[in-house]
């Protein structure tokens, strides 16, 4: 099973940018569908972006499309989430997740491994 560690969260003003990193160990990220989710207290975990095992397909939630970009560096065994034009409503704990399945949809239950999460706070 792959182990995931997120980093890169923090406090940023609205309109700013952050890049989240998800460093994997144990297995290569190219073996997994990799995704970013986010969650705020009292709400369900929301799918933000994902990238297919071969890296050729990506998905974005409508709320982040055009502002966030998911990418993968196989040499570093790391997945990134570049976030631009951040809004206060992007404030959440962001989680990296891995699924051995090729097709996962937006269901967090389809993911086998999770990182510990990193807090992103966007001030207005």
| Per-residue pLDDT tens digits for 42-75 | 999 999 999 999 888 999 999 999 999 999 999 9
Predicted local distance difference test score (pLDDT) of residue 105 = 85
Predicted local distance difference test score (pLDDT) of residue 24 = 97
pLDDT mean over 1-27: 96
Structure tokens at 25: 């160990």
| pLDDT for 40 beyond 90 | yes
Structure tokens at 34: 């990799």
What distances in angstroms separate CA 110 from CA 29, 58, 65, 74, 106, one per listed residue? 16, 17, 22, 22, 8
Give the chain's radius of gyration (CA, Å): 13
Predicted local distance difference test score (pLDDT) of residue 104 = 85
**Could you read off the pLDDT of 77-107 as tens digits, one per residue?**
999 999 999 999 999 999 999 999 888 888 9
| pLDDT for 1 beyond 90 | no
Based on DSSP, count helices (H) and strands (E) in the chain, helices before strands: 0, 11
Q: Beta-strand (E) ranges in 52-87? A: 58-60, 68-73, 78-83
């Amino acid at each position: 099973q792959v182990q995931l560690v997120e980093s890169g969260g923090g406090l940023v003003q609205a309109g700013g940018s952050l890049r989240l990193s998800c460093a994997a160990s144990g297995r290569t990220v190219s073996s997994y569908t990799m995704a970013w989710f986010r969650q705020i207290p009292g709400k369900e975990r929301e799918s933000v972006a994902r990238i297919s095992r071969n890296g050729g397909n990506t998905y974005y939630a409508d709320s982040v499309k055009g502002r966030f970009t998911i990418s993968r560096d196989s040499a570093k065994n790391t997945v990134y989430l570049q976030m631009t034009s951040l809004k206060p409503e992007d404030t959440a704990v962001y989680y990296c997740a891995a699924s051995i399945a090729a097709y996962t949809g937006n269901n967090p239950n389809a993911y086998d491994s999770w990182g510990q999460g990193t807090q992103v706070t966007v001030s207005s």
